[in-house]
Amino acid sequence: MYEENDNILEQVTSSEYKYGFVTDIAADSAPMGLNEDIVRFISAKKNEPAWLLEWRLKAYRHWLDMVEPKWPNVHYPPIDYQNVIYYSAPKQKIAPNSLDEIDPELRLTFEKLGISLTEQKRLSGIAVDAVMDSVSVATTFKAELAELGIIFCSMSEAVQEHPELIKKYMGSVVPATDNYFAALNSAVFTDGSFCFIPKGVRCPMELSTYFRINAANTGQFERTLIVAEEGSYVSYLEGCTAPMRDENQLHAAVVELVALEKAEIKYSTVQNWYPGDKEGKGGIYNFVTKRGICAGAYSKISWTQVETGSSITWKYPSVILKGDNSVGEFYSVAVTNNRQQADTGSKMMHVGKNTRSRIVSKGISAGFSNNSYRGLVQVGRKASNSRNFSQCDSLLLGDKCGAHTFPYIEVKNNTSIVEHEATTSKIGEDQIFYCNQRGIDTETAVALIINGFAKEVMNQLPMEFAVEAQKLLAISLEGSVG
Amino acid sequence: MLHIHDLQASIDEKQILRGINLDIKAGEVHAIMGPNGSGKSTLASVLAGRAQFEVTGGSVEFLDKDLLDMSPEERAREGIFMAFQYPVEIPGVSTTNFVKTAVNETRKHRGLEPLDAVSFLKLMKERMKLVSIDQSLLSRSLNEGFSGGEKKRNEIFQMAMLEPKLAILDETDSGLDIDALRIVANGVNASRTQDNAFLIVTHYQRLLDYIVPDFVHVLYNGRIVKSGGKELAMELEEKGYDFIKNEFAVTEEA
């Protein structure tokens, strides 16, 4: 009977990836491989100031001495870093001065992905920065945001237009030498988004960046930097997709968030990079460093992620709770199916007094996949009266997948309270039969059970994203339960 | 409505049902009684289509269709409802949401439009009263943290929402105190019509004080060994199951 149940599970978790198309557009690329000249090439392409080139070179030289981390609970053949193209930009005839001048082919690509770059057609309420391979192709609603003093633009543009802000904040949360992939990113990052919310401003719309990998053999290395000044608020969304290719592609991004006193940053991700095929061929290696700092008192940073794509995911969105009474949150749903592997979780570093953090992680594994939660809660000597609550729940579909939990807790004072709860469950045959007996077929039953399991996290997503994310959960697991 | 002929079923190659014959007509209430291990719950599960039981012989017709040929969800949509002895919990899914999904799947099967939010809520409010269930309970995750009585009332509430043609109550009385028992029985009685039927599986007679059956059948060792009116239940209560065991164990060996 269990076998039968698992067959059903297999059927439910095997649907096709629908963003796997390729856009046929000429690209301006760097030669394959990585060396100092490539770093100089990228910097020159972007017309960067000397200090930034130096910063990149320093990161590159440091990276050469580092070794790839082996501690994550994932397995893959060695990556040949010389077999990657580090810069690839879709060729546009002219530099677009306005959104109307964007290459129609590019516009079409993003429209196919459900991202309209035409402001008039967009649902009001979301401004988008669209990034394809190594460059940002368009940013919407810039003018409207500028009236409030909000800067929302591509990283390349920010380097040119706001060098003082970039110099001050870039690398301030994730230093160029932080870890292997962050160092690699610092050396070769090509674009990304920059947001700056001035003092006391509440950003009136959701800001979002949509990342798309298109060209073959390229890696995407983008940086996102969000700075929220005193008393400001911003909600930011990020989405990602890539074509279906047989080779693995590397995506090593860095995201830095800075919240000053009483500022709040809400950062949501729906990650749907190509996960590879059923046998585990192809797919994106998603090796990402995301970290925020609650620099000021009473500030708050909240990460929400729905991770369904990528063949391998390695990321731990973290918060440094430096300001007294600051708050860090991490809400995650990670789905792995077929041969996908995920090692993801969070770090909460309590430095200031009365700081609070909350981790809610929901892992769903199906097929032959492996899903690990890895988290660190660190409470420093001076972080008196701090609190953390962590909850890690795993749901297994079938009996060939794995769920693992690696919680680390370090507490250095005796006035703080840290709680950790974990559960592992399996979608029971009993649950499915119960639903069947009420006239609900197995596929609908599984979607119902999964969405119930992930509800606490899904509730954190902005409305516009929540429905989409719910569908995505059901689709990612289609064919895996019966 | 339901026509069971020589039904045989086993689990893990162990024979449990050894040839059940039973006819249920619209408007009737049948009770199946019997000692532990006689096959009562197996019969309920086989009718509902639980996969781990293997039907090894016989036939079941439900409204002139071959019931054994249908998947569990098809049986449900055709009008078979089972109130579970141990209702499962589904975290994060509210009872309201669950019942709405179930009602609309059944409506779809019957070629009806899904109920809109207003009509659904109206129907729900009406049916909640039948089992004195509170709105706040229905907003909570399905059966999660419900007391035994709340779970059983929730089963009867779902039954009332789905309006089945044949409702099978599998030991619905187990674990209920006398007040909860009365509430559950009232819910069932209020749902009785000329067009539907009930099959009540129970170990004890006490539920039958409140839901009065038209027929009582005694199941023993995988067969119906005795059938009668409601007075048979009284007799069992008085004498215990031993007299059945003695009587039929002898026959069995003879």
Relative to beta strand B65-66, strand B223-228 is unpaired
Whole domain around residue A263: which residue ranges?
Answer: 20-427
Residue A9 C-alpha, separation from nearest chain B C-alpha, in angstroms:
15
Chain A residues with beta carbon closer than 8 angstroms to that of B67: none
- Assigned domain for A467 exists: no
Q: From the list A5, A437, A452, which residue is nearest B91 (CB)?
A: A452
Cross-chain Cβ contact B51/A433 below 8 Å: yes
- Nearest residue in chain B measured CA to CA from A448: B93
Is residue A338 within 8 Å of A369, Cβ to Cβ? yes
Whole domain around residue B6: which residue ranges?
Answer: 2-253
- Assigned domain for A466 exists: no
- Assigned domain for A256 exists: yes
Predicted pLDDT at A390: 95
Residue A455 C-alpha, separation from nearest chain B C-alpha, in angstroms:
6
CA dihedral A465, A466, A472, A473 (to 10 degrees): 150
Query: pLDDT below 50 — which residues of chain B?
Result: 252-254
Predicted pLDDT at A122: 46
Chain B residues with beta carbon closer than 8 angstroms to that of A436: 49, 71-73, 76
- Assigned domain for A412 exists: yes
Chain A residues with beta carbon closer than 8 angstroms to that of B98: 435, 438, 448
The domain tally of chain A equals 1
Residue B88 C-alpha, separation from nearest chain A C-alpha, in angstroms:
6
Predicted pLDDT at A137: 59
Q: The domain that contains B158 carries what CATH number?
A: 3.40.50.300
- Assigned domain for A434 exists: no
- Nearest residue in chain A measured CA to CA from B51: A1
Predicted pLDDT at B44: 95
The domain tally of chain B equals 1
Helix, strand or coil, per DSSP, at residue A129: strand
> In the numeric block, which tokens belong to residue B116?
């809109």
Beta bridge pairs of residue B90: B142
- The beta-strand segments (E) located in A31-140 are 88-90, 126-132, 135-139
Chain A residues with beta carbon closer than 8 angstroms to that of B158: 438
- Assigned domain for A446 exists: no
Question: ipTM of this model?
Answer: 0.95
**What is the number of other CB atoms lying within 10 angstroms of the CB of residue A146?**
12
| Structure confidence by residue, pLDDT tens digits, A320-335 | 999 999 999 999 998 8
Predicted pLDDT at A60: 94
| Structure confidence by residue, pLDDT tens digits, A48-75 | 999 999 999 999 999 999 999 989 888 8
A36 touches chain B (CB under 8 A): no
Question: For the purposes of burial, counting CB atoms within 10 Å of the CB of A65, is it exposed (0-12), middle (13-18) or buried (19 or more)?
Answer: exposed
- Assigned domain for A432 exists: no
Query: pLDDT below 50 — which residues of chain A?
Result: 1-14, 93-94, 120-124, 482
Cross-chain Cβ contact B158/A438 below 8 Å: yes
| Structure confidence by residue, pLDDT tens digits, B57-76 | 999 999 999 999 999 999 99
Predicted pLDDT at A311: 87
- Assigned domain for A468 exists: no
- Nearest residue in chain A measured CA to CA from B47: A437
Residue A126 C-alpha, separation from nearest chain B C-alpha, in angstroms:
29
Q: How far apart are the C-alpha atoms of A79 and A87, rounded to whole Å?
A: 18
